[in-house]
Structure 1
Amino acid sequence: MSNSDPITAARRTPVDSRPAVTVLAGFQPTATAAVARLLQIADPRLVSVGHDLSRVRDGVVRRVVRTAAEVLEDEAVTLMHGCVSCTLREDVLPTLVRLSRARPGADIALLLPRVVEPEAVAGACAHCEVDGRPVTDAVRFDSYVTVVDAEHLLADLTSADDLRHRDLHAAADDDRAVADVVTRQIEFADTTVLWGGPAVEGYDLARAGVLLSRLAPWATQVVVDASRRVDCTDLAARLRHTGRHNPRVPGMNGRALEGYAIAVHSPEPDCGVVSMLFEARRPFHPGRLHAALSTLAAETLRGRGQLWLATQPDTAIAYESAGGGVGMGSLGHWLAALPAAHWAVASPDRRATADLAWDAAFGDRRTVLAFVGLDFAADSLAALLTDCLATDRELGPGARLPDPFADRFPLTVIDPED
């Protein structure tokens, strides 16, 4: 029998005995908890881990670990510092490792508090160790599932509230907006659960489904009608042991740089939902872009992507908008602005993306922006962005453009001789 025989190969494949972790996120905790209960009904051995952050600003969180039949732990945990990242490092990840040892045959459902973004969990897993070993030595993160309550989705996406307005902020300096948290929970998911009920009419449920598919086109969408009897076994089969999580996929701010799609271009309304992509190799005029930001945020529910400014040609800039607010930050250097020796620090995906789209004049510099919203005119928004691009004259020798973004995106100085 040859070594290529599939039966022999299967026998030689090592079995992954690590407990599988399904991460459940969502801004409406009732819906998220309901999904967890349904999964535990389908598998009574499944262990759920949840944390109550209502006292986190005082340095105390409450941890609850349970199966379908019993509460295994219900403890108040005192942290060195009261914040989300400390909760992850000091209790959430150690608890997952501890449970993997104490109950090696049981998978885990990790219920995130409503203000925790799943990307923070993935980031902590990538950089934190427990007992001197990576967390992923003990458990495997199978899927990141975001549960979305259709009844509240649109209100949360259009809310101008900060978490502080609802007394949900996790720290004194937590100034995140509700819409920011909701969109980031959805965008990081590899699976979304659209939770509907008797209060959600057919059109509203359909619109919520389209919104989810535009906000996270890479995610598998599962619809649950909570007004009817739910098949727990079927739901568990669609949410667990899917292997959908890919740790190589970057967070939203880095997706376009790494060559991943950040949206689908669907400019015609579907249930009123519009999604558009805008791409350009020419940089933005900083003054005109600054003047257009309020319009971009007001006309859409979500904006995201990367851009570059004529006055700051070395810097890749991240763009985000949600809830009427805009956020921008540095993504570091464009590769074209770095000495060749420094390219090695970039990921293979980023280097390949730069090579494929390399421009003789601009290198890998390019703008890729996506906008999702309700009944906005995609053509008009694209025209506004096009008008914000710098002209040949403005890019010519000796041109001096006023820059409202000056000193906003500092970069580490690179020695060109290095």
Structure 2
Amino acid sequence: MPSPTGPHDATTAPTDDRPALTVLSGFWPAATFATARALLAADPSLLLIRHDLTGIRAGLVRRVVRTGSGIVEDEQVALVHGCVSCTLREDVLPTLARLARTGRDLLLLLPDVVEPEAVAAACAHCAVDGTPLTDLLRVDSYLTVVDAEHLLDGLTSTDDLRALGIQAADDDHRGLADVVARQIEYADTVVLWGRHPDGPYDTDRLAVLLHRMAPWAAHFRLDDDLVDAHALTRQLRHTHRHRPETPSVLNRGLQGHALGLHEPHPDHGVVSAVFRARRPFHPTRLHDVLEDVNAEIIRSRGHLWLASQPDTVIGWEFAGGGLALAGLGPWLTALPDDRWTHVDNQRRLAAALDWDPYYGDRHQHLVLIGLDTDPVDLHRTLAGCLLTDAELADGEDAWRTWPDPFAGCFPLAAPPRADSDAAPSRTG
């Protein structure tokens, strides 16, 4: 079995007596169930927890706990409100706390429409009967499994969950591609399951694409015809890969973490281009090229600043033909000094290391990943949206008066909650 690539492989770890929790996500149940079965086969003491959300909009969830030898629990749970956040608070976390007290390691298999970041936020901030969950167990790894046969179709799908009838809540407007991308990007371990039907080259291309999307993760490939359960367990469990301090993908660049790789030369056709700049974008020129910029892109993400709204960090996410732009709060340079103490230490440090005497911490940072994409053309298009010297000389008071197609879209407020079931509005 191939060796993993990624920065989070731990050869040694401190002694920790808490049971280990592995969180397993993925949009294609056949691949995730097969991985779970292999892990159960290798460890008879491992407990698998799974929640069926079929009846969630009616306020009902089915919880199943099992080992490799059979079902231990099978119960229907009534919720106060039918949503994923309520399921996490009212049943998932209490179940994890209860089973952690048995001293056995746990494998939490997420429903296909649930994003692992929501679980991470709940584990980090919610207590069970007054006890933080992390006092009872150690989150070892967030593992995402993707099916080689369906991955590319999933990432390029223009369907949303509501149209497919699989939304997690009444206000869930996420796209299928958004869910798949976020499951991959939050993971510290990514498994490519099976083979692409068109042959080895296309399977290799998917492996490159996954690495460009989540370069911070450890990556594995599994042949669905032959799985060594014990070898798989050694690669996926007790790895200590999870870093709870790691921010969400949209906040990675703001906190000084890598947002992506700049690999402009195609590898199996996959191109990853990083665009960074200090000058602000002209709102009209940027708006006019959004469709062109993302025309050949599978995934793009990052943050930007508009000259017409110079106080606001704007998050950028594109997947499945839809671009989501959302306010991520104020730039630090726009904050009064007394509010800096309320800002995350990592972000303050990252800003200080890259502070500009004129722009402060404001900058553009985007990563665009596609197949057979021209990175030079991408850079030329985006650079053409930056302010010219003459426009810069006009100053912020003038910039705020310009016509702005994005006016009113990004009120200065707290960033969207990581545990929200809904996603920012998509455009394009």
TM-score, structure 1 as length reference: 0.93
Contact 1:198 1:226 survives alignment (8 Å)? no
Q: Which has the higher contact order (CA 8 A, sep 6+)?
A: 2
Partner AA of 1:325 in structure 2: G
Question: 1:355 Cα deviation (Å)?
Answer: 0.9
SS at match of 2:301: strand
Question: 1:31 corresponds to which residue?
Answer: 31
Write the deviation string for residues 164-201 of structure 1: whole angstroms up to 9, x where unpaired. Answer: 22211111211100000000000000000110148462
Which of 171, 176, 188 is equivalent to 2:174?
176
Q: Which amino acid in structure 1 is aligned with residue 24 of structure 2? A: L
Secondary structure at 1:137 match in 2: helix
- SS of structure 1 residue aligned to 2:254: coil
Listed as ranges, the matches of 1:131-150 within 5 Å are 131-150=129-148
Give CA deviations for 1:77-100 in whole Å, capped at 9, x if unaligned: 111110111111111111000101
Match of 1:331 among 308, 328, 332: 328
> 1:73 aligns to what?
73
Counterpart CA distance in 2 for 1:378 and 1:155 is 23
Can you list the C-alpha shifts for 1:268-291, whole angstroms capped at 9, x where unaligned?
111111101000000000111111
1:230-283 residue CA offsets vs partner (Å, 9 max, x unmatched): 111111000000000000000011100000011000011111111010000000
> Partners of 2:331 and 2:365 in 1: how far apart?
14
Counterparts of residues 342-361 of structure 1 (less than 5 Å):
342-361=339-358
SS in 2 for 1:23: strand
Is 1:95 equivalent to 2:95 in the alignment?
A: yes
> What is the RMSD computed on CA atoms of the aligned residues?
1.5
3-state SS in 1 of match to 2:193? strand
Deviation at 1:392?
Answer: 2.4
Alpha-carbon separation, structure 2, partners of 1:386 and 1:236: 47
Amino acid at match of 1:405: F
Q: Highest Rg: 1 or 2? A: 1
Which residue of 1 is the match for residue 274 of structure 2?
A: 277
CA gap of 1:27–1:313, structure 2 versus 1, over 3 A, is same
Q: Distance in 2 between matches of 1:239 and 1:389?
A: 44
Question: Counterpart of 1:407 in structure 2: which amino acid?
Answer: G
In structure 1, stretches of 5+ residues that fail to align are: 1-12, 414-418
Select between 331-340 and 391-400 the one with higher mean Cα deviation.
391-400
Alignment partner of 1:368 is 2:353: no
Q: How far off is 1:43 after superposition?
A: 0.6
Deviations 1:376-399 (A, max 9, x none): 111101111001111222231445
Q: What secondary structure does 1:256 align onto?
A: helix
**Contact persistence 2:148–2:196 (CA under 8 A):** no
Counting only pairs closer than 5 Å after superposition, residues 211-222 of structure 1 correspond to structure 2 as: 211-222=209-220
Q: Cα offset for 1:46?
A: 0.5
Paired residue for 2:402? Answer: 401
Match of 1:287 among 245, 262, 284: 284
* Amino acid of the structure 2 residue aligned with 1:81: H
In 2, distance between residues paired with 1:326 and 1:198?
27
Change (3 A) 1:269 1:251: same
Q: Partner of 1:5 in structure 2? A: none
Task: Say if 2:154 and 2:176, in contact at 8 Å, map to a contact too.
Answer: yes
Q: Which amino acid aligns with 1:220?
A: A
Equivalent residue number for residue 263 of structure 1: 260
Select the residue among 120, 141, 145 that pairs with 2:118. 120
How is 1:207-246 mapped onto 2 (pairs within 5 angstroms)? 207-227=205-225, 229-246=226-243
Is 1:296–2:296 an aligned residue pair?
A: no
CA contact (8 A) 2:302 2:366 kept: yes
Contact 1:150–1:200 (Cα < 8 Å) also in 2: no
1:6: which partner in 2? none
Contact 2:196–2:202 (CA under 8 A) maintained in structure 1:
no
Task: Decide which moves more: 389-398 or 273-282.
Answer: 389-398
Distance 1:351 1:273, change over 3 A: same
Alignment of 1:190 onto 2:188: yes
> Residue 380 in 1 paired to residue 377 in 2?
yes
Indicate the percent of aligned positions where both proteins have the same amino acid.
56
- Measure, in 1, the Cα distance between the counterparts of 2:41 and 2:197: 25
